[in-house]
Structure 1
């Protein structure tokens, strides 16, 4: 139940942040898939640390989206059948935004305090297949 509450709180946060991004034209003008950095983080958490990890992750993802203009998405999710399997959709305006993100106090706090909680971590860099559709996703959220 607690995980479900966290999931809904994160979704509300993402929807609020996206709606604050501006009008349709601003979203299209700001979008450049060639410059963007898209990544999926695949993280497995030790069961005994799951609640604490999720609390810290929630704080970090919220701060990243709220405070960093180059962070488009830090969207954490978990596998319904195995809640210790976390996935994070990370989208940054560009490589510089990602590098800047790594230097923020909230990311450093997340990284150092959760290190002992992480059983495995795999970072998978991705590329957009349908560049034209992505801005439309954000437009639909603001309707």
Structure 2
């Protein structure tokens, strides 16, 4: 599995447009790509231009494939002028077994 945290700062002028594009892209990724386990966008309550995206992929190959999809390419090209900074941080789970329980609990809520 590959887990990444994207730390993004958005130009406030474009925040509404950016969030709409990101919402569309993350929904498409989870729906259309089997190897995308989660793309969970968030923003800091006290500073909404600070976006964080928790990304989880079944493998590095699935991540590489994700980068080639039309919905990701549309997101990337249409938001270039909106992004003031971007930092990609690769992560490892401290307790990978708990991750499976989290997702099974989400299924129970349906």
2:78 aligned with 1:113, yes or no?
A: yes
Find runs of 4+ consecutive structure 1 residues off by over 4 angstroms: none
Following superposition, the deviation at residue 142 of structure 1 comes to 1.5
Deviations 1:74-95 (A, max 9, x none): 0000000000000000000000
TM-score by length of 2: 0.97
Q: 1:1-143 to 2 correspondence within 5 Å?
A: 36-143=1-108
Q: Which has the higher strand share?
A: 2
TM-score by length of 1: 0.75
Deviations 1:63-122 (A, max 9, x none): 000000000010000000000000000000000000000000000000000000000000
Structure 1: distance between partners of 2:106 and 2:17: 30
Gaps of 5+ in 1: 1-35
Following superposition, the deviation at residue 131 of structure 1 comes to 1.1
Structure 2: distance between partners of 1:142 and 1:74: 17
Structure 2: distance between partners of 1:102 and 1:79: 25
Structure 1: distance between partners of 2:20 and 2:52: 15
Following superposition, the deviation at residue 139 of structure 1 comes to 1.0
Equivalent residues, number: 108
Gaps of 5+ in 2: none
CA RMSD of aligned residues (A): 0.4
Deviations 1:11-46 (A, max 9, x none): xxxxxxxxxxxxxxxxxxxxxxxxx11000000000
Q: RCO higher in 1 or 2 (8 Å CA, sep ≥ 6)?
A: 2
